């Protein structure tokens, strides 16, 4: 099975990894350092089905 991995960072700090599997499943894993840092920058993810498109 083929897996593609994307390393995600925010303001120079490692946030985690997004793994995309051949079967279409995606898994996001936060890094321990990001989870434990109480002064970490805010991360928000848009998951609305029409993003990034707008229906007029």
Which of 5, 9, 7 minimizes the C-alpha distance to 40? Answer: 9
In which band, very low, low, confident or very high, does the pLDDT at 29 lie, cut at 50, 70 and 90? Answer: very high
**pTM, two decimal places:** 0.70
Residue with tokens 């970490």: 40
For residue 55, the model assigns a pLDDT of 61
In which band, very low, low, confident or very high, does the pLDDT at 30 lie, cut at 50, 70 and 90? Answer: very high
Percent of the chain with pLDDT over 90: 59
Taking 90 as the threshold, does the pLDDT of residue 44 lie above it? no
Taking 90 as the threshold, does the pLDDT of residue 36 lie above it? yes
Domain boundaries, the chain: 1-56
């Amino acid at each position: 099975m083929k897996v593609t991995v994307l390393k995600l960072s925010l303001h120079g700090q490692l946030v985690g990894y997004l793994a995309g599997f051949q079967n279409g499943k995606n898994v996001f894993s936060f890094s321990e350092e990001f989870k434990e840092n109480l002064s970490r920058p805010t991360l928000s993810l848009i998951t609305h089905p029409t993003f990034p498109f707008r229906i007029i």
